[in-house]
A and B are shown apart, each in its own frame.
Chain A
Amino acid sequence: MSDTETADLEIFRNETRIWLEANCPPEMRKPATSDADVFWGGRNAKFSSEPQRIWFERMRDKGWTVPDWPKEYGGGGLSAAEHKVLRAEMARIGARPPLSSFGIWMLGPALLKYGNDAQKKEHLPKIAAGEIRWCQGYSEPNAGSDLASLQTRAESDGDDFIINGQKIWTSYANYADWIFCLVRTDPTAKKHDGISFILFDMTSKGVSTKPILLISGYSPFCETFFDNVRVPKSNVVGTINRGWDVAKYLLQHERAMISGMGERGVGRPLGQIAADSVGTDGQGRLDDAMLRGQIARFDVDEAALAACAERAVDLAKAGQAHPAFSSAMKYYGTELNKRRHEILMSAGGVDALEWESERSRQGARPRAWLRTKANSIEGGTSEVMLGIVAKRILDLPGA
């Protein structure tokens, strides 16, 4: 980086810091503690508080719901280096993301790479502005880890496809406005070659959803049914029957998103949270030597993973990233997040077992703990991730 670039970046840092100080409400500088604290956007979106609305609107107006997207699509047009500065400055004050969205994390990057002009102009600005909430139609009852064996059919009918079949584990399908969906457009081709990536409105005739109750007591996922749903062929992203390319590209972004789901570096250190319930000894150390050791080892690994996540971004920027590296991050990040919540449960002891009391915020801790068990399953299991690393990065033989 040249001296001028470095100087420009420092100016940007100062301006950003001042702007965030002036515009991020204090309420939005605390970690989210419940679902209501997360704003997902969409046609039926409601703000849970005035500060949440203000923060969202100010960030949207700057294009900073999607800071690195082009300005013409409602983004901030920031360079990778500027985006890194913005993230660092937001982390510095603990600012929440103004908008959470599968459109931002998953569909957007895929549209930017594979979408045609009309699709980009139609969908990206509405994602950036939080107007449309998206869900992902990937898994099916018989296509989980072996996703490419999916059976949802899309049959040609003039300018349209007629879609029939069932998806499962569709996150928040019951709240979503639109779906990006994998469908089989050529049942005679080899399994990876007959798939298309298609977009449609969830209010289309023939679409229905049914929430699935999980061990956490929540229903973040749905079964989604398609009964003769009519979708224009122009809604296919990329080439018909080449949807697997789009699907894989999007999965890399999904995996990067899931690996970052842990509450890294936010709020109080785990050891201090544990000290609240376990207590401390005469020297101020956590009064449970084994738990303390577990936590410290976790902290080492968490800090190292944070460095690796930073490096992954820098490698991508330098054009040195391996395309399958997100699988490595997804594997480690999700396993680490499960470790974190096992520690939190152990630290909480009896108090962490309450499921319905006010005191326990309706069992927030055990429900979060149970939710994390899905992290190493959704978006590709840990075993699938290790298989990808073995074959695509290490080039080990077989299958």
Chain B
Amino acid sequence: MALVLTEEQSMLRDSARGLISDKAPVSHLRHLRDSKDRTGFSKELWHSFAEMGFAGLLVPEEFGGSGLGHVEAGVVMEEIGRTLMPSPFLATSVVAASALNRGGNSAQRSEYLPKIAGGSLLATLAIDEGAKHRPLHTGLQAVRAGNGFKLSGAKALVVDGHVADLLIVAARTTGAAGEREGLTLFLVNPAAKGVAIERTIMVDAHNAARIEFANVEVNADSVLGEVDQGATLLDGVLDIGRGAVAAEMVGLSEEVFGRTVEYLKSRKQFGKLIGEFQALQHRAAELYVDIEITRAAVMKALQALDGDVAKAASAVAVAKARAGTTATRAVQEGVQMHGGMGMTDQFDIGFFMKRARVCEELFGDANYHTEQLARARGY
């Protein structure tokens, strides 16, 4: 398959870009942050997303969705990355929708997927527990009790955790931390007894929460997929999330880079445009090359996910690792080349730096994914 967008995908990009740049420029995020908005995103915009078919982009048509693929999800994520628009799209429409669609039985799919597509249900995956992303080290315990399970433990960096209507919780039913065997995914009502949710205000002003589970009772119907065999489902769902976040980082990187190049063409010092200085020209050119290469790697990964999620792991690892290092470089060069202006809160560039840092941690940073590639290649 060609590594360029098809005509339909380009049209999707244009309509996403039109909506997002119009309704949610960076000032939208600034306003949500400064007004300490309780929801952390615009419900009105989310309705527009649903109306345009974005909320159910990955949901099959039989459940009221658009039935599109990961390249298309990446197209939307990239546009989100350009303006840093806070949106349930990642947690609900990409990660949770994929978990439910791939792991759910017919009752679960029929119950949740149409609501996601319609924009009425927000859902999220609760996976991380420690400071770093280590899915196999999941230690939240799920102990059999009567007809169901009791969940005990804590999760961190649960995206949209304080606004979600449904939590998808990775838990350990058997085995020890580090083992593939014994992981199970559970669907948990956030209003259930024993669930304590703390919204964590993050550096990037996007939604996240810490959630504690104290003997939370769930019934057997709450299991998503197979008991003890959740690792494979989780791998696929996480890779889908990683591909989407990598796409967001490509959009973010390009936007920062574009703003920086414009600045090089307008700022004068020593009687010259600073873009005339070779020291800056070469750094800008290197960054351009980095972004182009990363864009191709991310597209490759998204196409691999559309082909066969189970075989996409290495391509996704490459994409997420590259996206992390490229975005980090883009925002650092962006601030540096904007000089003192780049350090001010009034200027937007800092928002990009903060969001890039969070994206880097989401679903594993560059070091994590580089390690995964080394293991996959047997050294």
Q: Which residues of A contact B (CB under 8 A)?
A: 269, 271-272, 274-275, 280, 284-286, 292-293, 295-297, 299-301, 303-305, 307-308, 310-311, 314-315, 317-318, 320, 325, 328, 331-332, 383, 385-387, 389-391, 393-399
Contact = CB atoms under 8 A, between A and B. Distances in A.
Given A307-B3, A396-B261, A396-B275, A328 B289 contact: yes
Interface stretch (B29-37, B63-71, B85-93, B292-300): B292-300
Contacts of B289: 328, 331-332, 389
Given A296-B370, A328-B288, A397-B273, A310 B322 contact: no
B293 A305 contact: yes
A396 B281 contact: yes
Contacts of A275: 379
A390 B285 contact: yes
Contacts of A299: 370, 373-374, 377
B265 to A, nearest CB: 6
A308 B374 contact: no
A271 B276 contact: no
Nearest to A390: B281
A314 B282 contact: no
* Ranked 7 nearest A-B pairs via Cβ: A271-B379, A398-B276, A304-B297, A390-B281, A311-B3, A389-B285, A308-B296
A323 B38 CA distance: 49
Interface string B1-19: 0111000000000000000
Interface string B128-168: 00000000000000000000000000000000000000000
B264 interface: yes
Contacts of B375: 285
Given A272-B377, A387-B281, A297 B370 contact: yes
B339 interface: no
Contacts of A301: 293, 322
Nearest to A318: B4
Contact of B4 (A296, A311, A390): A311
- Most A CB contacts (10 A, CB to CB) among B3, B265, B272, B300 go to B3
Contacts of A308: 292-293, 295-297
Contact of B318 (A272, A285, A303, A387): A303
Contact of B379 (A274, A297, A386): A274
A305 B318 CA distance: 10
Nearest to B281: A390
Contact of B374 (A296, A304, A317, A328): A296
10 contacts: A272-B379, A300-B373, A303-B314, A304-B319, A305-B293, A311-B296, A315-B4, A320-B4, A331-B286, A390-B282
B321 interface: yes
Given A299-B374, A300-B369, 20 more contacts: A269-B377, A271-B377, A271-B379, A272-B379, A300-B318, A300-B322, A300-B373, A301-B293, A303-B315, A304-B319, A307-B293, A307-B318, A311-B295, A311-B299, A314-B2, A315-B3, A328-B292, A387-B281, A389-B285, A394-B285
A318 B273 contact: no
Contact of B282 (A274, A296, A300, A383): A383
A269 B299 CA distance: 23
Interface residues of B, number: 42
Contacts of B346: none
Contacts of B379: 269, 271-272, 274-275, 280, 285-286, 292, 295
B271 to A, nearest CB: 12
A346 to B, nearest CB: 14
A310 B370 CA distance: 22
Given A314-B2, A389-B289, A304 B322 contact: yes
Contacts of A269: 377-379
Contacts of A293: 370, 374
Given A300-B370, A304-B322, A387 B2 contact: no
Interface string B249-278: 000000000000100110000001101101
A387 B282 contact: yes
A314 B4 contact: yes
Contacts of A310: 3, 296, 300
Nearest to A278: B379
B337 to A, nearest CB: 12
A385 B321 CA distance: 26
Contact of A292 (B294, B300, B314, B374): B374
Contacts of A386: 281-282, 285-286
A390 B283 CA distance: 9
